[in-house]
A and B are shown apart, each in its own frame.
Chain A
Amino acid sequence: MISNKFRRQLPLYLMLLPGIIVVFIYSYIPMIGIIIAFQRFIPARGLFGPQEWVGLGNFRYMLTLPDTYKILRNTIFIAGMKIISGLSVPIIIALLLNEVRREWFKRSVQTIIYLPHFLSWVIFAGILIDILSPSEGIVNKILESVGIRPIYFLGDPKWFPYTMVITDLWKNFGFSTIVYLAALTNISPTLYEAAEIDGANRWQQTWYITLPGMRPIIVLLATLSLGSILNAGFEQIFNLYSPQVYDTGDIIDTFVYRIGLIQAQYGLATAVGLFKSVVSFILISFSYYLAYRFADYRIF
């Protein structure tokens, strides 16, 4: 006999069922599909078909490739610089915005700097390719007018990683700025009033009230960003790189795409991808744990 309690919970299980199935097929089956990393995979034989097993062969091969170390270095370098700039610049802009007394100005700036975040990387890359072109682009035209020789921002391996960091910052700094600003509205105005009575100037108020008020959210974002140290920004780099900048601009995700979907070396590509998934998983779990311990952050 079905218990009364179960009968009352049954609709809840039924509501979850479609979600459980979709997630099982398109998230959990790919996780099982990681076995491709241990095979010489031939798609015609089926995902779980009779494939030839090669043990750790793909991983051993991966370790002998010089490309492996190059893409790892590039990924960490680009992602690391993005994390640092993406955390610090928005703090400064948020503090500056916080000092603005004219509401309309504050709101307009917020609206404008947040907009690029919602354009796709295809659109944004299209804009960048146009304005950064060494021959016709407006950026190089401006540089030329002040006597600087044209810079091939997207084609010069020396410049490419920095171009990625700056253009990513450009697209996304508005987003974090608004996160910080939202945190600032939670600071009680009475704190500022009290400081004013005690004779604190604006600078002291920023240093002793505003910044400490932002600390929890800064700590939280910094901790959570730890998990993205292997995410150098696939969508951005895929749309902006070219073979001549592979030396400094090729990252794990673009490499996996090329050797996997273009060259059809499925086993090797899955092995490289698995390496990334495992390291990211450890880092993300660790960062959530830290955020939970020190910022009292909970996912649900």
Chain B
Amino acid sequence: MRRISKGEKIFAIFNYIILSLAALICILPMIHVLAISLSSKSAVAAGLVKLWPVEFTLMSYKYVINRPEFFRALVISLKRVSLGLLINMFLTIITAYPLSKDDRQFRHRTILVWYFVFTMLFGGGLIPWYMTIRFTGLLDTIWALVIPGALPVYHVVLLLNFFRGLPKELEEAALVDGASHWTILWKIYVPLSLPALATLTLFTAVGHWNSWFDGLILMNRPENYPLQSYLQTIVVQQTITPGSMLSTEDWRILQIVSDRTVKTAQIFLGALPILVVYPFLQKYFMKGIVLGSLKE
């Protein structure tokens, strides 16, 4: 090993400082918002809360969870994520398989790939898209959130490229034995692609969980909003307006919580599933990038 010069040592120190700052900038705002949500109304209003809760209380969370709207939106979101996952993954897999064949095995392969890829390059725009969904009768149903985007073309492209990298010998042997394409797909391709499929599943789930704009415009009635659309109307658009339905319990809670503590509690709850799975599935989150941009 070469001796480390003084200049290099100074650089290393600066380097660690800059990178720590970059990481802190990403994480501190979230901690600050979390601290606010766990503090009392008066402590927040007095500007006492920085990175640690002051006058710790869970009342803001209690208030949020007691809202029937919040709970309803959460159920719709969970339904959307599970339906969306099932449909998206199934269609992605059965679409990617034929398209991964070469022209000799599947004659119209190239033109069919272009049929799908073209939709990544050009689109009709917001209004025709909205009208199409409207005229296919999906407005105000859960299907509006899963059917129009049932086939994520970008994922199909990623998966077909992955399929193409698999060894061909197993497939050829299976074909000689008289196995059907269906069997080859589910018995050979899918088991060999589990890491890639896990990554796609994760990104699909996160995508469905995070979507809010489609819910906002495709649902006319707010009671059909998924959670992120509901949060959009609550956190971004307006202040909480305690309606006439408040119980005495609610009034008691409102002594301790404020608009701001309730909003931050909702922000945190909306991010919670991602924050919970992120550290455990980090490997797959990272792989998404390699799968996407660095294929050889």
Contacts and interface: CB of A to CB of B under 8 A. Distances in A.
Say whether A and B bind each other.
Answer: yes
Interface of A: 9, 11-13, 15-16, 18-20, 22-23, 25-34, 36, 43, 46-47, 93, 96-97, 99-100, 105, 108-116, 118-123, 125-131, 136, 138, 141, 170, 174-175, 178-179, 182-183, 196, 201-202, 217, 220-221, 234-235, 238-240, 253, 256-257, 260-261, 266, 269-270, 273-274, 276-277, 280-281, 284-285, 288, 299-300
Q: Which of B5, B29, B210, B275 counts the most chain A CB atoms within 10 A? A: B29
Interface of B: 2, 5, 8, 11-12, 15-16, 18-20, 22-23, 25-27, 29-30, 32-33, 36, 45, 47, 50, 91, 94-95, 97-99, 101, 105-107, 112-113, 115-117, 119, 121-136, 147-151, 153, 156-157, 160-161, 180-182, 185, 206, 209-213, 217, 228, 231-232, 235-236, 260, 263-264, 266-267, 270-271, 274-275, 278-279, 282, 285-286, 289-290, 293-294
A276 B98 contact: no
Q: Which 5 residue pairs spanning A and B have beta carbons closest together?
A: A33-B128, A273-B125, A30-B124, A120-B210, A12-B98
Contact of B26 (A36, A123, A174, A285): A174
B289 A182 contact: yes
Nearest to A260: B127
Contacts of A126: 33, 231, 235-236, 263-264, 266-267, 270
A229 to B, nearest CB: 15
Contact of A127 (B99, B123, B150, B267): B267
Nearest to A196: B2
Given A9-B106, A33-B132, A270-B125, A300 B267 contact: no
Contact of A113 (B23, B50, B156, B282): B23
A164 B157 CA distance: 31
B125 A277 contact: yes
12 contacts: A13-B98, A16-B95, A19-B95, A30-B132, A33-B129, A100-B16, A126-B267, A136-B45, A138-B32, A183-B294, A261-B130, A274-B125
A295 B125 CA distance: 30
A19 B91 contact: yes
Contacts of B105: 9
A27 B131 CA distance: 12
A16 B236 contact: no
A220 B94 CA distance: 30
Contacts of A111: 278-279, 282
Q: Which of A9, A12, A47, A105 counts the most chain B CB atoms within 10 A? A: A12
Contacts of B211: 120
Q: Which of B22, B32, B106 counts the most chain A CB atoms within 10 A? A: B22
B125 A256 contact: yes
B127 A269 contact: yes
Contact of B153 (A23, A31, A175, A281): A23
A286 B154 CA distance: 19
A20 B115 contact: yes
Contacts of B45: 136
A178 B12 CA distance: 20
B124 A34 contact: yes
A38 B50 CA distance: 55
Given A33-B124, A260-B126, 4 more contacts: A9-B106, A30-B124, A123-B270, A261-B217
A242 to B, nearest CB: 10
Nearest to B209: A120
Contact of B121 (A29, A100, A281): A281
Contacts of A261: 126-127, 130, 217
Nearest to A108: B23
A300 B11 CA distance: 43
A11 B267 contact: no
Contacts of A99: 11-12, 15
Nearest to A48: B135
A18 B91 contact: yes
